[in-house]
Structure 1
């Protein structure tokens, strides 16, 4: 029996599309079918709608990004921003605004999008090509663009990268509004790519992946198999260019571009971290739609490498600033950690797809860790200040040029702020998923999801105060009595698993069990792939209660991570913590956390938009006024959620705390 795929698979808006046999075995519930009522996420989605999106459009205007399209339409002027991929900041903001429109109709915003789309359409060349850095003045394109179309694509022109983000945005706009004005632009451009690239045409491995994901999006909308075939073609082109294989320079040996060997032979997360996440996401999409098992085997190995050897304790990836890339195995420095916000967003995309392929909660465990920590740390609580990089330690005694100490309103390369714009409104689409008569509950966010399971309607209402409290309540309301397997994720952190590998572990295992009740009665349940499976005939107002242990945990790093030995990180529920100067006498990197120190928790509604703080007796290292005597004094450590740091000015911050001091290095600047 054929099934109809959702046009908005992985983005959330469900419209009927063409019949398709192969697809992800598990399907996400569209975000438009999930209405949130919690404070934690609804406040962020509202801030994104009212602050971040308008600020992003305003900055696209003031920096000349919009002007580039106007000049391209007129074929005169000079490209007025720095990077040829600056076009994508407009595309990504349109994408985020479209998702917002789907949930919160706004005629004024809709009209503004139409006006921008008109400007974009006029910049498109007759054959569909759209790349303002060349179209403004084809004889004098920017240095990254190359003298002719596509000749620098495998390096740094970003022509196909621009296309990919355009497709993502056009698909979102079409699904949100039903209008084809942007979609038609994208399809005309995609048809140009089909005409230009292929087995008997131009061969190229895109220098910055995402066109593969975008082409899949267009295939889902139109059913035009040429788009899916081209996505696979681009992926399969990797690993065939001649590089200097002996060079240790990743640009020269192809690793930076994930282009050193064919994708099905790759087994390690390598190169530019954002490029990598988009590539692996595209491979998952193509594998789901074509049944390519070799792709799945490859991304399984790569995922194990990333989570087992190349991920920070708060979910961030891409340790090395030179090339914004993955380092070697266990190369996870704190004082120079790069951790681009876009890489965290890409990790969420990829882990969602891995879950849809395999149905294992470990992928959602990583997604949740990234989402609540290393991703939302990238946007300030004001909604208009950002981190491009997400540091692990800021010390007054150490300075590194790549590490941001305070948030910025915009960047010359502003890929991260506009990526945040498009991710935040889609959060409700990550809460639930379905397969047959199984419903997966992946994220714990108060609100109601309206699902159709085996052609029967059922609503699930969550009530909780997550992530601050582990008490979860679910009310199940089927239209009529129905058999259903309710699969509630029991997070790894509630099963004594700090991460789905041996990269990090808890110092002391918790003896607390996860208690589940149905209609007030404790029940026995089985665990499958990290999910508590509750199988029964569900009737109206059936209630499920889950109690997750929320004790403070000390996290240890694998012995191969040199920088974290003798130290602990702090976790409570899904939230990783840090110490910041503001709460700790102006410093943070001088704190010793004794092994026996016990923690107190307190919810502070008046602090950083409402957070749970941790406090414990600690020691601080002090130096006398003469700079000759070093001593310790008793203090109270106050720790705040990692995501909330750098919202109160500039100063020290640290995630890892030594439990004792064995020696002192004397450093000089």
Structure 2
């Protein structure tokens, strides 16, 4: 579900647990474009199934709706399911066999206690309550299913209540990137915290064990979601599937123990360049909101990140980004870009100034293992007596522009 943007137009091939890249409209392996929504649509066909003897009905998904199964224990069975799962843990099913029939009903009971790799607290293994026509039912959980076998009468109602605590999930400490970190989960949903809901960058957040969350229904947010809210510190978490529909950075694994967690580089912190700073006329700092806003960032299908403690920006699938930068009419101006020398694989783009192409660039392992600069002189007639120009980095159709690790106007004299 998290692969699809709320618009239904763009999607992810990967499902990153951290980042800020928006979903995109196409992928080089196009089968995935259709397979992701097709999988979601197939859930209706996977909600119920029968054993070979047709006398055991499995309920695999909790989805509000109604259907008729043609042969359960010798006759048709109409099932009506009422639920707001995954927002609420209550599920009600009304069974309408064509006559009194004996069969087993197996209800899937999720185990939210984690695995050998993950632990979740508080645990919820096999904790649930089941009633049939308002009376508690005896139903032991075996292999993930609670079984009720009885003679069913038209109109029998089964009510299942699943626990939905807010859980903290920890990873095996042998997984180094997750060491000292925690994730939030409620029911089947993992949650993200996003910069758009914070006063600080989520990568600077320390989510201490004593921080208490509560669920809050937010009909006004992301089409209606059960958010997790914390008062001290003031935090809001949204379901992972709905992440990155509002821009900014989004993250699942949050620092809980700074002594154990590996610090993350944060885009937007200026990097000194003593070799360039003296002749720099203007520069922009990628990922730094004040700098990018001051330089009037415009973009389409572009994002930022960090690599080796340097901020970068790129654009994919023919996207672009642009900034308004200061020039000196009395100097010989050039656009200077910094690249990572190992970048390759369909990274083709144009450098444009005030709408005119001044250079083509293709990255193809130019300087393995090192950063390198490229300067593109701006024709004097493009500047004239201007003091500002718009520099646009434009990806070729289907290609990626960048990443750029520095963008500035320099005096090349």
TM > 0.5 fold call: yes
Structure 1 residues 646 and 511: CA distance shift in structure 2, 3 A? closer
The whole-number CA distance in structure 2 between the counterparts of 1:421 and 1:530 is: 27
Deviations 1:60-87 (A, max 9, x none): xxxxxxxxxxxxxxxxxxxxxxxxxxxx
Corresponding position of 2:259: 662
Answer whether contact 2:73 2:102 (CA < 8 A) is retained: no
1:637 maps to 2:262: no
Corresponding position of 2:35: 419
Partner secondary structure for residue 563 of structure 1? helix
The whole-number CA distance in structure 1 between the counterparts of 2:124 and 2:43 is: 30
Corresponding position of 1:453: 72
Alpha-carbon shift at residue 512 of structure 1 (Å): 8.8
Alpha-carbon shift at residue 644 of structure 1 (Å): 0.4
- Return the match for 1:588 from 186, 202, 205: 202
TM-score (norm 2): 0.60
Answer whether contact 1:512 1:549 (CA < 8 A) is retained: no
The whole-number CA distance in structure 1 between the counterparts of 2:191 and 2:142 is: 30
Alpha-carbon shift at residue 414 of structure 1 (Å): 2.9
Corresponding position of 2:23: 407
Answer whether contact 2:48 2:58 (CA < 8 A) is retained: yes
Corresponding position of 2:58: 440
- Return the match for 2:8 from 377, 380, 383: 383
Rg comparison, structure with higher value: 2
Answer whether contact 1:446 1:462 (CA < 8 A) is retained: yes
TM-score (norm 1): 0.38
Deviations 1:620-667 (A, max 9, x none): xxxxxxxxxxxxxxx312110000011112x21110112232277595
Corresponding position of 2:91: 472
Task: Give the superposed CA RMSD.
Answer: 2.0
5 Å-filtered alignment, 1:551-566, equals 551-566=165-180
The whole-number CA distance in structure 2 between the counterparts of 1:652 and 1:511 is: 33
Answer whether contact 1:485 1:534 (CA < 8 A) is retained: yes
Corresponding position of 1:568: 182
1:523 maps to 2:142: no
Alpha-carbon shift at residue 425 of structure 1 (Å): 2.4
Corresponding position of 1:463: 82
| Number of positions where the alignment pairs a residue of Structure 1 with one of Structure 2 | 263
Task: Provide structure 1 residue ranges, at least 5 long, that are not aligned to the other structure.
Answer: 1-375, 395-403, 619-634
Task: Provide structure 2 residue ranges, at least 5 long, that are not aligned to the other structure.
Answer: 266-308, 311-413
Deviations 1:151-201 (A, max 9, x none): xxxxxxxxxxxxxxxxxxxxxxxxxxxxxxxxxxxxxxxxxxxxxxxxxxx
Structure 1 residues 392 and 418: CA distance shift in structure 2, 3 A? same
- Quick check: which one's strand share is greater? 2
